Amino acid sequence: MRPAYSNAVQMLKTESAVLFAVFGILTVFIIIMVEKKEISRIVDLTKSVQAVSFTENRFPKISVGGKDEIALLGKNINCMLMELEKNYDAIKKNNEHLYHAMEVTNDGYFDYDITNQTIDISQTWLKYLGYENNLDLVTDIGKVLDGILPEDRQRFEEALHAFIQNGGELFYEEVRAYKAQHGYIWVLVRGGIIEYDREGNAVRFVGSLSDITKRKENENQKIFLLQTDPVTGLKNRAYMEKKLEEYKQEEDPVFSILMADVNGLKLINDAFGHREGDRLLKTIGDIITYCCDDADIPVRWGGDEFLVLVRNNRTYAENLMRRIKYELDLIVSFPIKISVAAGCSAYKKTDMDMEQVISRAEEKMYRNKLLESRSFHNGIIVTLEQTLYEKKIELPAAIERRQKICRDIGKQMHLSQETLDELDLLNLLHDIGKIELPDDLIFKTGGMTEEEIGRKKKHTETGYRIVKTIPEIAHIANSVLYHHESFDGSGYPTGISGDEIPITSRIFSVVNYFDFLTNRNGQNSVGQEEAKQMVMEKAGSKFDPEVVSVFIKVTEKKEYMD
């Protein structure tokens, strides 16, 4: 029995070993097959995720069969991709809106890495500035700052540094930036800090860039109009008052005020119109500017007054005043001699305010005006007389003839010496208002339009205004105004009659008509007797009968024809 038992045991061992070997091989095979299948699914999942990552294509969905954890992971990844796709579309739309908005408004953006001192500027903005061949988005901050005009760079750097150090809600600065080819634009830089390091230091600063050139031009134009006199182009009183307020803040200001008043502006306006008066003001403003140094500030103070703020001592101001007067003496382009009365005053430490300095300069100016006024007005009278001769409105011989007759009539009527002197002046200046008329209209008699007739008749009113502005001859203003009035009220400009017309005007109108008849050019002149007859025919209508009667007596004794 023992051999059979031994054989059975041996067989059992052999079979057990085979069984274990088969089981082991089967187990290994099953494990290998399972691992191969699962690993394949994981690899497929990984490749799908990598494909999305590398191609940025979120539309393909990841498909993993089964109901285990891998399949669940695949589903979760698909949900995540769907959310990413939605967010990506929203970001894309926002970027497109931002791009188009900045393109339309000429705006740009920047991202400033404070740690590395680099700045990322949008391409559209660089193109807008003309940098077509320099579109590197990462730019050294120093190069960017070099693109700012030197006058603005220091202010901008100081403001940026202060903002980065101290923080704030919004950075806001306006600077001028060079364009690539030529010129510059005004840029509004707005931004804020969006990232700090662990120590609380700012490391990232982002913002926008906007072209505000048109706005600045409009602002500057408004400021220019508010602070500039439109006639002379000089700064105006509002600008000067602002400057004076600034000087009040200085510890020890050194300056002088020069004030000048134009002589004869009203006369120029009345005689030649406000356009000529404006030309006078512009000329004087140009001369004052020419005489001033760059540090001086000339302004039109108002009306016919100019003021110069001199950033220097009184000696300089007085020399400047003399130079301005000298240059004005050289002007010969106006019908009267141009001059100004001037005065200057230096700022004193005892002055309570700037008005005291101006007041002293103004007082000296008016004192100077009083001293010069008589000689100035006498000079104007001479100038007006010369203008009458040059335009051939009057001839010395004709004036002398009329003056003789008028004086003889006046003496016969026992008029005062003062009235006789008025007659002399009236003979000289009765047609002074014609100097503002064009030459072709002065001597035009026939074929005139209603407008030309009206304009020519206005010479009496113009003459009145001219004479009224000169104190030495202002007393004959009414005589000049009424020398074309008729005794019966049919004359012009007001239609007064009889004794309302000054006696000087009544005498002059008779003599002027007689002289016109007897001494006019050509074959139309008549003899003295015929002219006297024509004068008598108008007695009681155009002429004062009493004056005509005296005139006839006077002319019987003398011959008043050339």
Q: How far is CA 21 from CA 14, 17, 26, 449, in A?
A: 10, 6, 8, 139
Per the structure, the complete domain to which residue 115 belongs is given by 106-218
CB 177 within 8 A of CB 148: yes
Q: What is the pLDDT of residues 438-448, one digit of tens each?
A: 888 888 877 88
pLDDT band at 552 (very low <50, low <70, confident <90, very high): very high
pLDDT for position 471: 79
Give the domain-ending residue among 383, 401, 424. Answer: 383
Q: What average pLDDT score do residues 70-91 get?
A: 69
Helix or strand or coil: residue 107? strand
Task: Give me the CATH number covering residue 525.
Answer: 1.10.3210.10
Q: Are 329 and 342 in contact (CB under 8 A)?
A: no
Please check whether residue 383 is in contact with residue 335, taking contact to mean a CB–CB distance below 8 angstroms: yes
Based on C-alpha coordinates, what's the Rg of the chain?
50
Structure tokens at 17: 């070993």
Q: Is pLDDT above 60 for 388? A: yes
373 within domain boundaries: yes
Residue 412 located in a structural domain: yes
| Percentage with pLDDT > 90 across the chain | 33
- Flag whether 224 is in a domain: no
Higher pLDDT, 101 or 217: 217
Omega of the bond leading into 438 within 30 degrees of 0 (cis): no
Residues 528 and 448 reside in one and the same domain: yes
136-167 residue pLDDT tens: 545 788 888 888 999 999 999 999 999 998 88
Decide which of 537 and 350 is more confident. 537
Residue 212 has pLDDT above 60, yes or no: yes
Give the residue from 169, 171, 205 showing the smallest Cα distance to 190.
171
The least confident of 126-130, 289-293, 422-426 is 126-130
> What local confidence, expressed as pLDDT, does residue 364 receive?
86
pLDDT score at 315: 85
Least confident of 228-237, 258-267, 410-419, 495-504: 258-267
Whether residue 234 contacts residue 289, with contact meaning beta carbons closer than 8 Å, is answered with yes
The whole-number average pLDDT for the span 242-264 is 83
Residue of higher predicted confidence among 365 and 72: 365
Say which CATH number the domain at 306 has.
3.30.70.270
Same domain, 207 and 258: no
pLDDT of residue 58: 55
pTM: predicted TM-score of the whole model, two decimal places: 0.59
Residues 212 and 235 in one domain: no
Q: Assess contact for 238 and 227: CB atoms under 8 A.
A: yes
- Residue 281 falls within a domain, yes or no? yes
ω into 230 cis (within 30 of 0) = no
- Is the same domain home to 163 and 237? no
Going by C-alpha positions, the residue among 451, 482, 452 that lies closest to residue 464 is 482
Longest dimension (CA), the chain: 205
In this structure, is residue 481 part of a structural domain? yes
Q: What's the one-letter identity of residue 350?
A: T
Residue 186: is its pLDDT beyond 60?
yes
449 occurs within a structural domain: yes
Higher pLDDT, 412 or 76: 412
Q: What distance in Å separates the CA atoms of residue 166 and residue 164, rounded to the nearest whole number?
A: 6
Band of residue 25 on the pLDDT scale cut at 50, 70, 90? confident
**334 shares its domain with 359:** yes
Counting the structural domains of the chain, the total is: 4
Q: Is residue 466 part of a domain?
A: yes
List residues bridging with 189 in a β-sheet: 173, 209
- Backbone CA torsion sign across 281, 287, 291, 295: positive
Asked whether residue 488 carries a pLDDT value surpassing 90, the answer given is yes
Task: Tell which wins on pLDDT, 541 or 168.
Answer: 541
- Helix, strand, coil abundance in the chain, percent, nearest 5: 60, 15, 25
For residue 137, being part of any structural domain is answered with yes
Residue 298 has pLDDT above 80, yes or no: yes
Domain end marker among 383, 418, 441: 383
Instruction: Please check whether residue 519 is in contact with residue 398, taking contact to mean a CB–CB distance below 8 angstroms.
Output: yes
Q: Tell me what the pLDDT averaged over the chain comes to.
A: 83
Q: Which residue has the tokens 């009496």?
A: 460
The pLDDT value recorded for residue 384 is 79
Check residue 35 and give its pLDDT: 58
CATH of the domain at 114: 3.30.450.20
Last residue of a domain, one of 75, 96, 117: 96
92 pLDDT above the threshold of 70? no
CA 93 to chain centre: 44
Structure confidence at residue 181 (pLDDT): 81
Amino acid at residue number 85:
E
| Per-residue model confidence as pLDDT tens digits over 28-70 | 777 666 656 666 666 666 666 666 666 655 555 666 666 666 6
Shared domain for 50 and 178, answered yes or no, is no
Secondary structure (3-state) at 350: coil
Sheet hosting strand 184-196, strand order edge to edge = 138-140, 118-121, 107-113, 202-211, 184-196, 171-178
The most confident of 82-91, 342-351, 505-514, 524-533, by mean pLDDT = 505-514
Residues 326 and 395 occupy one common structural domain:
no
Q: Is residue 282 scored above 90 in pLDDT?
A: yes
Instruction: Determine the pLDDT at residue 33.
Output: 64
Is residue 190 predicted with pLDDT exceeding 90? yes
Is residue 16 domain-shared with residue 75, that is, in the same domain?
yes
Same domain, yes or no, for 435 and 526? yes
Identify the helix (H) or strand (E) that includes residue 109. strand 107-113
Of 189-203, 232-246, 520-534, least confident by mean pLDDT is 520-534
Asked whether the beta carbons of 503 and 415 are under 8 A apart, the reply is yes
pLDDT of residue 525: 80
Mark whether 532 and 514 lie in a shared domain.
Answer: yes
pLDDT interval class at 102 (50, 70, 90): low
CA-wise closest residue to 349 among 257, 246, 248, 245? 248
Q: Are 119 and 111 in contact (CB under 8 A)?
A: yes
CA distance 356 to 273: 36
DSSP state of 494: S
Both 258 and 329 in one domain: the answer is: yes
Residues 539 and 414 in one domain: yes
**If DSSP states are collapsed to H, E and C, what string results for 270-316?**
HHHCHHHHHHHHHHHHHHHHHHCCCCCEEEEEECCEEEEEECCCHHH
pLDDT of amino acid 21? 78
Rounded-to-integer distance, Cα 290 and Cα 168, Å:
48
